[in-house]
């Protein structure tokens, strides 16, 4: 098999589900929910467009089980109160062309969007730009059941799988991090305790969806923060995940902690986290996905050819060109052109890419990339408008 074939070879997951190729659209919070936690037609168009472009797997970012700890007011909220009609349409259209559409199950925790939340993390924090209270133990103990309920609804609505979000500084990743997690109960202290909530969540989700439904975990290789979740601990988590029923470990890194580095805002060369993935490969037989910094066909091909990972995860490259898998298969667009933004403010690049997703969903992709500032302005204005809708719909959290 030559390496081109490898990228387009099917992958059988431990649960028995087969993905048609090795190219995944990594989770992106698209900010295209309607403000009441339901999908919009623009969002459905976006995922249909990606499915038509030849992806094996596509993951919707930050789908919340509760409106109380959302990452953004454009998140989807999937719980017993949700109307499943548009979720079902999203599942069907985003799953066209043999593509798999999964939901990433999120909980913002300490980083929940403050205008719609009273953020709670593993421990109380009062830092510039980040204030949260400590999550009470009975609430912590309910987290796995809440993730499980949303996973079951995802399955009922026709989605192909779920990804448990334990990366980038959101709730489950905060529990892993000694910087966020100073608890003295069974969820804090040594890494075996800090990973307890993640493992319990996987077990609860598996019990809810049965043995044949894919479950992935997105895990940081490191938070890239001094005193945070570091590589040695991350390898212990990989070893523990090896003994669970997960079907895929998606390796990432960085956080949205104020002032910290996030992978989606990074401008430099990639792919990131390759060395970590190599070591993880030796420690687990669970299929590995690597996300972050893949820009070219040659990079994707090399990561697979060297046997380091089983799936290549792309986020920004697929925001630039939603048909990249089909183009690569036809030997085209092997080195996509990325925009370069000098002096982007924190979060600015991520905001630009989020607005790019809207232009795909509305079929208004312009021939040039457009500037950063108008994109940031439009992004912020939309979040503000959606916050008003969210608060009217869900009410203000206590
Ligand atoms: C607009 C945007 C939104 C993102 N939202 C999420 C998200 O909801 N969940 C997640 O795990 N990662 C999210 N990410 C991070 C990406 O999945 C990925 O880890 C990161 O962008 C690095 O990959 P890339 O270099 O291929 O873009 C987002 C990235 C972008 C650009």
Give the distance (Å) from ligand 1 centre to CA of residue 117.
22
- Does 61 contact ligand 1 (Cβ within 6 A)? yes
Q: Is residue 4 very low, low, confident or very high in pLDDT (cuts 50, 70, 90)?
A: low
pLDDT at 241 over 70: yes
Mutation test residue for ligand 1: of 27, 57, 270, the one with most atoms within 8 Å of CB: 27
Q: Share the mean pLDDT of the chain.
A: 95
Question: Can you list the positions of beta strands (E) in 107-201?
Answer: 120-121, 125-127, 130-134, 161-166
Task: For the chain, give the percent of residues with pLDDT over 90.
Answer: 90
d(CA 180, CA 169) in angstroms, rounded, equals: 9
pLDDT at 1 over 60: no
- At 218 the three-state DSSP class reads strand
The DSSP-derived string for 14-76 is TTS-EESSSEEEEEE----S-SSS---HHHHHHHHHHHHTT-SEEEEEEEESSGGG-SSTTS-
Mutation test residue for ligand 1: of 26, 46, 336, the one with most atoms within 8 Å of CB: 26
Q: DSSP class of residue 366?
A: -
pTM of the predicted model, to two decimals? 0.98
d(CA 249, CA 241) in angstroms, rounded, equals: 8
- Are 209 and 105 in contact, with CB atoms under 8 Å apart? no
Element (H, E) at 312: strand 311-314
d(CA 60, CA 75) in angstroms, rounded, equals: 10
CATH annotation of 3-394:
3.20.20.70
Q: Mind listing the pLDDT tens digit for each residue in 155-208?
A: 999 999 999 999 999 999 999 999 999 999 999 999 999 999 999 999 999 999
- Does 299 contact ligand 1 (Cβ within 6 A)? no
Q: Mind listing the pLDDT tens digit for each residue in 52-94?
A: 999 999 999 999 999 999 999 999 999 999 999 999 999 999 9
Of 258 and 278, more confident: 278
């Amino acid at each position: 098999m030559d390496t081109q074939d490898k990228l387009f070879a099917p992958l059988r997951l431990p649960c028995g589900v087969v993905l048609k190729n090795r190219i995944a659209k990594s989770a992106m919070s698209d900010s295209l929910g309607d403000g009441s936690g339901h999908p919009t037609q623009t969002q459905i168009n976006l995922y249909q467009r990606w499915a038509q472009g030849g992806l094996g797997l596509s993951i919707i970012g930050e789908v919340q089980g509760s409106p109380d700890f959302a990452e953004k007011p454009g998140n989807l909220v999937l719980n017993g109160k949700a109307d499943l009609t548009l979720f079902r349409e999203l599942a069907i259209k985003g799953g066209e062309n043999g593509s798999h559409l999964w939901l990433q199950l999120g909980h913002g925790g300490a980083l929940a969007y403050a205008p719609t939340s009273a953020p709670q993390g593993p421990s109380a924090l009062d830092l510039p730009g980040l204030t949260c209270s400590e999550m009470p133990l009975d609430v912590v103990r309910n987290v796995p059941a809440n993730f499980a309920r949303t996973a079951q609804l995802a399955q009922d609505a026709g989605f192909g799988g779920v990804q448990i979000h334990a990366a980038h500084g959101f709730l489950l990743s905060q529990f892993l991090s000694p910087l966020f997690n100073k608890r003295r109960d069974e969820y804090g202290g040594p890494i075996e305790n800090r990973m307890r909530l993640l493992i319990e969540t996987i077990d609860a989700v598996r019990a809810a969806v049965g043995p044949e439904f894919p479950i992935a975990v997105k895990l940081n290789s490191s938070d890239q923060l001094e005193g945070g979740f570091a590589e040695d601990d991350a390898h212990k988590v990989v070893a523990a995940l090896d003994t669970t029923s997960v079907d895929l470990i998606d390796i990432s890194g960085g956080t949205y902690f104020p002032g910290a580095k996030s992978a989606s805002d990074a401008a430099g060369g990639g792919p990131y986290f390759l060395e970590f993935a190599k070591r993880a490969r030796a420690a687990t037989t669970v299929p590995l996905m690597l996300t972050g910094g893949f820009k070219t066909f040659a990079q994707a091909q090399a990561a697979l050819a060297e046997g380091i990972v089983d799936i290549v995860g792309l986020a920004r490259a697929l925001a630039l060109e939603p048909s990249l898998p089909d183009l690569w298969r036809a030997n085209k667009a092997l080195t996509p052109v990325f925009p370069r933004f000098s002096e982007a403010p924190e979060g600015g690049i991520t905001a630009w890419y989020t607005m790019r997703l809207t232009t795909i969903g509305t079929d208004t992709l312009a021939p040039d990339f457009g500037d950063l500032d108008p994109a940031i302005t439009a992004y912020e204005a939309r979040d503000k408008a959606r916050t008003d809708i969210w608060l009217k719909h869900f009410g203000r959290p206590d």
